[in-house]
Chain A
Amino acid sequence: MSLSELVRRRPPGDPGSPGKPRGAAPPAPPAPVPTRKIGWRVRLKRDRSLLLMVTPAIVLLGVFAYVPMLGNVIAWQDYSPYTGFLRSPYVGWAHFERVFSNPLFVDAVANTLIITAFQLVFFFPIPIFLALLLNSVITPRTRTTIQAIVYLPHFFSWVLVVTVFQQIFGGAGLINQTLRDHGLGSGFDMMTNPDTFLILITMQSVWKDAGWGIIIFLAALSTVPPEQYEAAAVDGANRWRRMWHISLPALRPVIILLLILRLGDALTVGFEQLILQRQAVGADVSEVIDTYVYFQGVVYGDWSFAAAAGLVKGVVSLALVLGANKLAHVFGESGVYKRA
């Protein structure tokens, strides 16, 4: 038999078969593999080629991620590069105490979480929306052209992005200059206003990265067989219903995955973007965990402090991801990894 035949074989019970538009369920749930009944030896033997496939990745990560990760022991040391990891004196949890004892740290955590929450609501959905919109443009040339333009700002540096925004929205920028020329007052300097900073940085992020974020969703949409749309259309489902019942469910697993991973990144927000605009609005609104660690530790070559802060961040991030993953399971999603 030919394997390529299998590829073309329409999956049985497939939503693509003529029928009503399906509810918001992901494609056919995988048949549960009865793991409990099989002993681990048998499974090891059965899955040996799978394990072999994972091996190169594990080796690479083991050598280039895990070995240097051991260097984080300096978080418990009074580390000096010359003395090295082995001989630097052990100082217990002192560096961790330093991370937490500074009142600025609390502010930085608060700012970080506010920015993350805001961007989760006002940034995260935009690429999804744009992907659906683009996907509905039927002329391939228009679609690809638009796509090829909107993803380019991703490759601009933050310095350029900030400069562009300054030249448009700044106190001497295009908008304010026009207002002044027409005697409409000097308007409103968005670039130096701490109250609107959250909106400003979200606008910048959207401008820079929303187009790039589309790509992964477009890839997900391209996996939907057109027959599904056809069948739904024949059944009388309009555009909105087809988007709601076919396109969105196709995106759902990847949306959930990205959402969970974004949560894991909740403590990481645009370091470079914020550091560039820190003095324009003041540290009170722009200090986040990464900039705090940078200014308290990295600038002064205080590697131990930076390592301790990094570990704290890692633990919290991991906890957030695992928590979000659990939550996804509760809602019947597979998340990062499924329950066995």
Chain B
Amino acid sequence: MSGQATEISAEAAVLPEVRRRPRRSKHRPAWEGRPSVGGQALKFVVLALVVLAVAFPLYTVVLTSLSTQAETIRVGGLVTVPGELTFSAYTQILNGGIVTRAALVSTFVTIVGTILSTTVSVMGAYGLSRPGSFAHRPILFVFLITMFFGAGLIPTYLLVSSLGLINSYWALILPGAVSAFNVLILRNFFMGIDISILDAARIDGAGDWRILGRIVLPMSRAVVAVVALFYGVGYWNAFFNAILYINDNAKWPLQLVLRSYVLQGVTLPGSGVGQVDVATGAVTGMPVKMAVMVLAIVPILIVYPFVQRHFTKGVIFGAIKG
């Protein structure tokens, strides 16, 4: 943050010293200078603040999910100081096998949907990435339009219904299978690839399918991983399509089932309901709501490292070579 001149001199001063020092970060490349103390401290402070701002609420959410209902009523909100801890919120949700079933449905829809969407989008993006190719501008326009003009609930429902997709898992996949935004992102990255590489391959007789599969894709791992993550998260979190299109409750995806746990215990006042709360007993308190929140995040926590691996692949690859 200080002036550039001082930065330079600081670096210059440290550089020769670095070579003599035996202890250095094994991650820092040989050519990398030793960072200035001030810069490091600043960086540390900023990152620590950012992490803290996120971690504290996260901690209260997890802690609340592990607290008793009585504790949350006592404090009147999210719990910040650990009291009596219990897993009852989680067992309440996971009992009965419905959640397990729904998790399978969601996993299936997410995997199939992500593969389909990513494949179609990568192909579409590559197909539009060559400057001057036939009709690419009107086609791009066709994509762009879909970002700004939506369709109402009813026409979409009528379409899905007339295609016979009511109660089918495809109704959860196909209507949102292609996101123009993701196609544009992919295309943007593809266009950043040096065209001379592609031209060289073309001269060597490689067709577009081969170029896509053997050159463009390997060079674009990071962005493909990101787009797959976008699609995957979208499929995993989607529940509204299921509300409209899935009548068979056994086919509900996980998010819809988890939603229903948050609603539990809202007994409607009324005659027939008179004894219902005696019968079910279970009440949705803060702990269950927060447990639902945590359960929804867990799969994303599991998947993310796999996505992230692709971010550094290129760097490692280059490093070996360099």
Whether A246 sits at the interface, judged by CB under 8 Å, is no
Chain A residues numbered 146-161 whose CB sits less than 8 Å from any CB in chain B? 146-153, 155-157, 160
Chain B proximity of A59: nearest CB distance (Å)? 9
How many angstroms from the CA of A12 to the CA of B196 in the assembled complex? 8
Whether A216 sits at the interface, judged by CB under 8 Å, is yes
Contact A64 B183, beta carbon cutoff 8 Å: no
- Number of chain B interface residues as a range: 35 or more
Whether B231 sits at the interface, judged by CB under 8 Å, is no
Residue ID in chain A nearest B176 by CB atoms: A64
Whether B200 sits at the interface, judged by CB under 8 Å, is yes
Encoded as 1 (CB less than 8 Å from any A CB) or 0, chain B from 14 to 48 comes to 00000000000101110111010001000100110
* Inter-chain contacts of B133 with A (CB < 8 A): 33, 43, 47, 50
Whether A101 sits at the interface, judged by CB under 8 Å, is no
When the two chains form the complex, which single residue of B183, B192, B194, B210 contacts A57, counting CB atoms closer than 8 Å?
A: B183
Interface class of chain B by DSSP: helix
Residue ID in chain B nearest A28 by CB atoms: B194
* A136-B43, A257-B184 known; A57+B304 contact, CB < 8 A: no
* Inter-chain contacts of B197 with A (CB < 8 A): 6-7, 9, 11
Chain B proximity of A331: nearest CB distance (Å)? 16
Chain B binder among A182-190, A217-225, A269-277: A217-225
Whether B181 sits at the interface, judged by CB under 8 Å, is yes
Contact B27 A223, beta carbon cutoff 8 Å: no
* Inter-chain contacts of A327 with B (CB < 8 A): none
Residue ID in chain B nearest A143 by CB atoms: B312
How many angstroms from the CA of A49 to the CA of B133 in the assembled complex? 11
Contact A238 B142, beta carbon cutoff 8 Å: no
Encoded as 1 (CB less than 8 Å from any B CB) or 0, chain A from 183 to 218 comes to 000000000000000000000000100010001101
Contact B46 A71, beta carbon cutoff 8 Å: no
* A57-B123, A261-B184 known; A139+B206 contact, CB < 8 A: no
Whether B301 sits at the interface, judged by CB under 8 Å, is yes
* A54-B124, A153-B57, A226-B319 known; A337+B140 contact, CB < 8 A: yes
Whether B278 sits at the interface, judged by CB under 8 Å, is no
Whether A130 sits at the interface, judged by CB under 8 Å, is yes
Count how many pairs of residues, one from A and one from B, have CB atoms less than 8 Å apart in the complex: 315
Whether B273 sits at the interface, judged by CB under 8 Å, is no
How many angstroms from the CA of A27 to the CA of B196 in the assembled complex? 11
How many angstroms from the CA of A47 to the CA of B47 in the assembled complex? 48
* Inter-chain contacts of A163 with B (CB < 8 A): 77-78
Whether B144 sits at the interface, judged by CB under 8 Å, is yes
* Inter-chain contacts of A67 with B (CB < 8 A): 155, 159
Chain B proximity of A249: nearest CB distance (Å)? 10
Chain B residues numbered 125-140 whose CB sits less than 8 Å from any CB in chain A? 126-128, 130-137, 139-140
Contact A53 B314, beta carbon cutoff 8 Å: no
Top 10 A-B pairs, shortest CB-CB distance? A71-B155, A68-B151, A57-B124, A53-B127, A33-B132, A54-B127, A219-B222, A68-B155, A11-B194, A53-B123
* Residues on B facing A (Cβ under 8 Å): 4, 7-8, 11, 25, 27-29, 31-33, 35, 39, 43, 46-47, 50-51, 53-55, 57-58, 60-61, 77-78, 120-121, 123-124, 126-128, 130-137, 139-140, 142-152, 154-156, 158-159, 174-178, 180-181, 183-185, 188-189, 191-192, 194-197, 199-201, 204, 206-210, 212, 214-215, 218-220, 222-223, 225-226, 229, 233, 237, 293, 296-297, 300-301, 304-305, 308, 310-315, 318-319, 321-322
Beyond A68-B156, A253-B191, 8 additional pairs, beta carbon < 8 A? A3-B210, A7-B219, A11-B196, A28-B196, A44-B134, A65-B146, A69-B149, A222-B314
* Residues on A facing B (Cβ under 8 Å): 1, 3-4, 6-9, 11-14, 26-28, 30-35, 40, 43-44, 46-47, 49-54, 56-58, 60-61, 63-72, 74, 81, 85, 130, 133-134, 136-140, 144, 146-153, 155-157, 160, 163-164, 167, 207, 211, 215-216, 218-220, 222-223, 225-227, 229-230, 233-234, 238-241, 253-254, 257, 261, 264, 303, 306-307, 310-311, 313-314, 317-318, 321, 334, 336-338, 340
